[in-house]
């Protein structure tokens, strides 16, 4: 996710505390909020010094200042400096909190873990959670925001369904050839000659003699 996509995604889910947010979305928006709020804070600091300049100039080495100098404070300059900071803080509060909760959801944790930041050292725990990669599957808080990248890959065609060969089947064997026999003789088949006649009255006669 690019810098612009992250900002658009967070502001489109301005107060959405459901779903998941990937690391790039959280950290790009964190950088954007820092780039916006830092100049505003510097401007407030300059206006604060200008408004309280009489008090600062009247202070001695012990830090004591004249009560008369309090009447010379320019509250108009102070308001000019603090109003933009309040506006920026209000604009960024809800989306920053929402994307933090969604970032915790992405790691499989409840958004209530955000409250640990008020405990001494708890901000370090929140930082570690924000750096961790999200769970590479759908969890109870929603689908994986990186599912399309986890299985598609950077190269063309990478991650596309592969065409696998069909499982092999036993080869088809041809039928054995039929046995061949010699062709029958052409023409009529010769019959064996009839046996010679035997005189039935001759007791010594034998067939074939």
Instruction: Report the half-sphere exposure of 172 (CA within 13 A, side-chain side).
Output: 0
Q: What is the pLDDT of residue 148?
A: 74
- Count: domains in the chain: 1
In a domain, 31, yes or no: yes
Sign, CA torsion 132/138/139/141: positive
Q: Is residue 26 part of a domain?
A: yes
Q: Is residue 116 part of a domain?
A: yes
Strand partners, 142: 139
With respect to residue 179, please indicate whether it lies within any of the assigned structural domains.
no
Cα separation, 78 vs 58, whole angstroms: 18
Buried b / exposed e across 92-124, counting CB within 10 Å, b at 16+?
beebbebbbbbbbbbbebebebbeeeeeeeeee
Averaged pLDDT, groups of 10, the chain, 209 residues long = 91 92 93 94 91 74 67 82 93 94 93 91 91 90 82 52 54 64 64 62 53
SS3 142: strand
Residue 125 lies in a domain: yes
Q: Is the pTM of this model over 0.95?
A: no
Is 87 inside any structural domain?
yes
- How far apart (Å, rounded) are the C-alpha atoms in residues 6 and 8? 5
Can you give the pLDDT at residue 186?
A: 64
Predicted pLDDT at 161: 54
- Assigned domain for 113 exists: yes
- What local confidence, expressed as pLDDT, does residue 92 receive? 94
Q: How far is Cα 66 from Cα 60, in angstroms, rounded to an integer?
A: 9
Q: What is the pLDDT of residue 50?
A: 86
Domain carrying residue 79: 7-59+69-135
CA–CA separation, 36 and 48 (whole Å): 19
| Torsion on CA atoms 15, 18, 20, 23, rounded to nearest 10 | 30
Q: How many Å apart are CA 142 and CA 19, to the nearest integer?
A: 5
CB of 29 closer than 8 Å to CB of 92 = no
């Amino acid at each position: 996710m690019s810098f612009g996509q992250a900002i658009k995604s967070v502001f489109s889910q301005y107060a959405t505390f459901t779903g998941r947010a990937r690391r790039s979305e959280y950290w790009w928006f964190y950088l954007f909020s820092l780039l916006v709020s830092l100049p505003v804070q510097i401007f407030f600091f300059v206006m604060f010094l200008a408004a309280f300049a009489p008090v600062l100039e009247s202070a001695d080495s012990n830090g004591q200042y004249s009560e008369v100098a309090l009447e010379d404070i320019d509250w108009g300059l102070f308001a000019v400096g603090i109003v933009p900071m309040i506006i920026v803080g209000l604009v960024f509060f809800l989306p920053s909190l929402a994307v933090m909760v969604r970032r915790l959801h992405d790691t499989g944790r409840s958004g209530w873990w955000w409250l640990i930041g008020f405990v001494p050292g708890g901000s370090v725990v929140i930082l570690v959670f924000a750096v961790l990669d999200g769970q590479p599957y759908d969890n109870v808080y929603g689908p994986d925001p990186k599912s399309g990248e986890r299985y598609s890959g950077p190269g063309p065609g990478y991650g596309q369904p592969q065409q696998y060969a069909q499982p092999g089947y036993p080869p088809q064997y041809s039928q054995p050839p039929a046995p061949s026999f010699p062709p029958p003789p052409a023409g009529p088949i010769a019959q064996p000659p009839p046996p010679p006649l035997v005189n039935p009255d001759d007791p010594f006669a034998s067939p074939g003699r």
